[in-house]
Amino acid sequence: MIKMNFEKVYSTDRKAENCHIGLPLPEGQLYDLSRVAVRNSEKKLVPSASRATGYWKDGSIKWLFTRFEADIPANKGAVYYLDTDSDEAFVFDNGIVFENNVIDNGEIKLYLSTGGKNKIFDHIEYRGVKYDALVSMPMLKDKRGNKYGTVIDDWEIMEHCPLCLNVRGRGSHMLKDKRVFSFEININVFRNKSAFELGYRIINDTDDTLNVESLIIESGKKTTGKARAAAAYSNYRTSFDINEEGGEAYKYVDANMLLFESNEHNSEVFYGTFFGDYTDDDIGVCACVYQAQQNFPKAVRVRNTHTEIMLVPEDIGEVNILSGMAREQKVLFYLHSPDEDMQSINNKTIIYQMPDKPEISPDIFEKSGVFTDVFVHNKNYDMEMYIGAKADEHSRAYGMMYWGDSPDMGYTNQGRGKGKLVWSNNEYDFPHACALQYARTGTRRFLDYVLVNARHWIDVDVCHYSRDPLIYGGQYEHTWDHIGAGNIVCSHEWVEGLLDYYHLSGDIDGLNTAIGIGENILRLLETPMFQRAGETNARETGWAMRSLTALYIETNDEKWLEKCDWIVGHFRQWEERYGLWLSPYTDNTAIRVVFMISVAVGSLMRYYRVRPDADIKRMILRAVDDLCDNARLDNGLFYYKELPSLKRLGNNPLILEALSIAYELTGDKKYIEYGMPTLRYVTSFKPAGVTYAKRIEENSLIQGNMGTKSFAQMMIPVTVFYKYAAELGLL
Q: Are 670 and 664 in contact (CB under 8 A)?
A: no
Residues 599, 491, single domain; the answer is: yes
> According to the model, what pLDDT value does residue 540 have?
77
Element containing residue 670 per DSSP (H, E): helix 670-683
Residues 703, 657, single domain; the answer is: yes
First to last CA, the chain: 36
> According to the model, what pLDDT value does residue 473 have?
98
In a domain, 718, yes or no: yes
| For range 44-64, the mean pLDDT | 98
* CATH number for 18: 2.60.40.1180
pLDDT band at 539 (very low <50, low <70, confident <90, very high): low
* DSSP letter string, 469-493: TTTTTPBPPSEETTTTT----GGG-
Rounded Cα gap, residues 730 and 351, in angstroms = 46
3-state SS string for 415-463:
CCCCCCCEECCCCCCHHHHHHHHHHHHCCHHHHHHHHHHHHHHHHCCEC
Residues 318, 428, single domain; the answer is: no
pLDDT, tens digit (0-9, with 9 covering 90-100), for 341-368: 999 999 999 999 999 999 999 999 999 9
pLDDT band at 531 (very low <50, low <70, confident <90, very high): confident
Task: State which amino acid sits at residue 498.
Answer: L
In a domain, 366, yes or no: no
pLDDT band at 693 (very low <50, low <70, confident <90, very high): confident
- pLDDT of 536 over the 70 cut: no
Report how far apart, in Å, the C-alpha atoms of 397 and of each of 70, 235, 577 are.
34, 18, 45
Last residue of one domain, picked from the residues 306, 334, 353: 353
> According to the model, what pLDDT value does residue 542 have?
82
In a domain, 212, yes or no: yes
Strands of 457-579, DSSP E:
479-480
In a domain, 373, yes or no: no
Tally the residues of the chain.
731
* CATH number for 226: 2.70.98.30
Q: Are 151 and 171 in contact (CB under 8 A)?
A: yes
pLDDT band at 298 (very low <50, low <70, confident <90, very high): very high
In a domain, 370, yes or no: no
- pLDDT of 168 over the 70 cut: yes
Residues 419, 478, single domain; the answer is: yes
Range of the domain at 226: 97-353
pLDDT band at 221 (very low <50, low <70, confident <90, very high): confident
Q: What percent of the chain has pLDDT over 90?
A: 89
Nearest to 143 by CA among 321, 273, 301, 344: 321
Q: What percent of the chain has pLDDT over 70?
A: 98
Contacts of 649 by beta carbon, 8 Å cutoff, 6+ apart: 633, 635, 637, 639, 640, 681
Residues 202, 77, single domain; the answer is: no
Last residue of one domain, picked from the residues 335, 353, 371: 353
Residues 77, 105, single domain; the answer is: no
Residues 553, 643, single domain; the answer is: yes
pLDDT, tens digit (0-9, with 9 covering 90-100), for 439-449: 999 999 999 99
* DSSP letter string, 179-236: EEEEEEEEEEEETT-SEEEEEEEEE--SSS-EEEEEEEEEES---SS--EEEEEEESS
Residues 395, 339, single domain; the answer is: no
Rounded Cα gap, residues 89 and 730, in angstroms = 50
Last residue of one domain, picked from the residues 50, 83, 116: 83
In a domain, 673, yes or no: yes
> According to the model, what pLDDT value does residue 224 have?
65
> According to the model, what pLDDT value does residue 537 have?
59
| For range 20-44, the mean pLDDT | 98
Per the DSSP assignment, residues forming a β-bridge with 328 are 201
Rounded Cα gap, residues 397 and 202, in angstroms = 21
Residues 102, 72, single domain; the answer is: no
Report how far apart, in Å, the C-alpha atoms of 387 and of each of 82, 264, 340, 692, 712 are.
30, 21, 46, 20, 11
Mean pLDDT of the chain: 95
In a domain, 127, yes or no: yes
pLDDT, tens digit (0-9, with 9 covering 90-100), for 92-144: 999 999 999 999 999 999 999 987 788 999 999 999 999 988 999 999 999 99
CA 714 vs. chain centroid, Å, equals 19
Residues 75, 210, single domain; the answer is: no
Peptide bond into 297 cis (omega under 30): yes
In a domain, 88, yes or no: no
How many domains, the chain? 3
- pLDDT of 195 over the 60 cut: yes
| For range 52-58, the mean pLDDT | 97
pLDDT, tens digit (0-9, with 9 covering 90-100), for 466-521: 999 999 999 999 999 999 999 999 989 999 999 999 999 999 999 999 999 999 99
Strands of 268-392, DSSP E:
274-279, 284-289, 298-302, 307-312, 319-321, 326-336
